[in-house]
Each structure stands twice: as C-alpha cells, then as structure tokens.
Amino acid sequence: MPRQSSRGLPVLSGARALVSRSPRSVRLGRLGRDRVRGKWLLLSLFFLVSAVVYGAIIGGQTGRVFNALVHGVERLAVAAGFGVKRVTVEGQRHATDAAITAALAAGPDTMMLGFNTDSAKERLESVPWIRHAQVMRLLPSTLQVVIEERSPYAVWQYKGETFVVDDDGVVLAPALPQAYPHLPLVVGEGAGKHAAALYQELETYGELKQKMLAALRVGDRRWTLKLRSGLEIMLPDDNIAVALESLTKFEQEHRVLERDLAAIDLRLLDRITVRLREAAIAMPDVGAPRDVPTASTGATKGKT
C-alpha cells in the first residue's frame, strides 16, 4: 500500500504543476504587460505633442503649426472624397467660364466642408455681369452655383471708348456699337448712368426714338437728342416730359422733324427756338404751340 501511495504522489503533484501553468495565466500575464506598454506610449506621445506645442508657442510658430494641422486635415478630407470635383452653374449667359471659375476659387484640392459659400457669393457678385449669386454645397463633392445676370441696356460711348451698360449704368464689358444694334447709343459723361431715366421718358414716343441716332449727355446735367437726319433736339435739365409734349404738338402743327433744320431748342420756359443749318436764325413762321409749356422748371402756358 505505501508503495502504491508513493507512486501516485508524483503524478498528483505533476498534475498540479501543469494546471498552475495553464494558458489562461500566461495570456493574462502578457495582456498586463501590453497595457503598461500602451500607457507608456500614450504618455510619450502626450509629452511629444506638448513639447511641439510648447516649442511653437515659445518660438512664435503657433500659427504655422495650426495651419499645418488644418492643412493636414483638409488633405485627409479631400483624400476621403470630400474635395470639389464638380461645379454646376445655372443662369449663365454672358459671364465667361473663366470669370466664374476665378471668382469661385475652388478646385480639386478644396475641402467641401471648409469652403466658405458666403465669400464665394461676394466674389461672384463682383463680376460685372453678375447681379446676384447663390452658392450651395452638395456633398460629397459638388458645388452648385445659381446666378442672375445683368441685362444689357445701352451702349455708352465716353472718351473714345465704348461699353455696354445695364439699366443702373454698371459697365458690363467693352463693346462695339455694331455688336449691339438693338441697344440705344448714349454719349458723354454720366450718360450710361442716366440712360434708363431718359428712355423711360421716351417710352411713348416711338416715332421719335426710331429717328434717333444717339442721345448726347451735356455737362452731365441734360440731354441733346441726335436724329439720323442730323437734327439735334436740346432738352431742358428737368421736366423732360413737358418738353417732349411740347415737341409733339410743335411737330403736329409744323412738321419740323421733316424740315432741313440744324437744331430745336426746348430749354427755355416760354419759347421753342429752331436753327437752320445755314445760319443760327429762328424760323419766323413757327413758335411754341399754344397751351403747351416748354419749361425746365414748371408747367406754365407758353407764348405763341
């Protein structure tokens, strides 16, 4: 019996030794060492970042470091598919692709999420042809641009140069009059800015407008209408509607627009003066039409 008992003991103690070295205890021991190593790595990274930030502050390079970080984030976002890959434009007729692209200032390296649509809108509206603009981000990679363009209203000639302008007098582009034959021609300082007001007054005088070659702005205060026949009609500083009404009745009574005249002067309060091409004399058989003022200051009765 003792001999059997002594033989069994080594077996039992060997079994205990095998269990004590189970795989679970080994793995636990290794995991604990990995945790300690991870903590040291995080701590080292924290000290490294702190040292970089501290060095940037001391060296006055905070902005540079921040910009580098931002640039890095942007490059990661672009690489992930959030860069500008497509631009759509609605409402474009006259504005060039180059002008829109330059004002938009967006390209494949531009991060969609960081793109300032308000600034882009302001830049687009600084393009002469563009009156209003709207810029929208369509994620992940499309910019949608909607523009409202200015409409050409008149051709303005000043100091030997010619431009096309809108109804506010904004210069849209250099232009030749032949390129816009349907637009009125206005000449002189301030003519582009005041063209819309003049042609609103002429709206109901279709026959007169058809005879016109150009409207000349004199001293940036009044207009002279130049007809294709060479006749000049001098309008007053204000009350243009009254002067045009007087001219209409004058034409009905004397057919002056068909005569060989150099000028018709509507600037005075109480009379219409005409000038022949040969000499500056008034025609004796014509005068201001009855009950129609020609004043630049008020609607009083004219003299015959």
> Residue 40: is its pLDDT beyond 90?
no
- For residue 288, what is the DSSP state? P
127: number of Cβ within 10 Å: 19
> Residue 184: is its pLDDT beyond 50?
yes
The rounded mean pLDDT for the chain is: 76
Residue 279 or 17, more confident = 279
Kindly state the average pLDDT of the residues 176-185: 90
- Beta strands 142-149 and 154-158 are unpaired
Least trusted range by pLDDT, from 15-19, 60-64, 84-88? 15-19
Residue 88 has which token pair?
């759509």
Rounded CA-CA distance 230/278 in Å is 13
270 Ramachandran zone, left/alpha/beta (phi>0; psi -120 to 50): alpha
> Residue 20: is its pLDDT beyond 50?
no
Residue 60 pLDDT grade (very low, low, confident, very high; cuts 50, 70, 90):
low
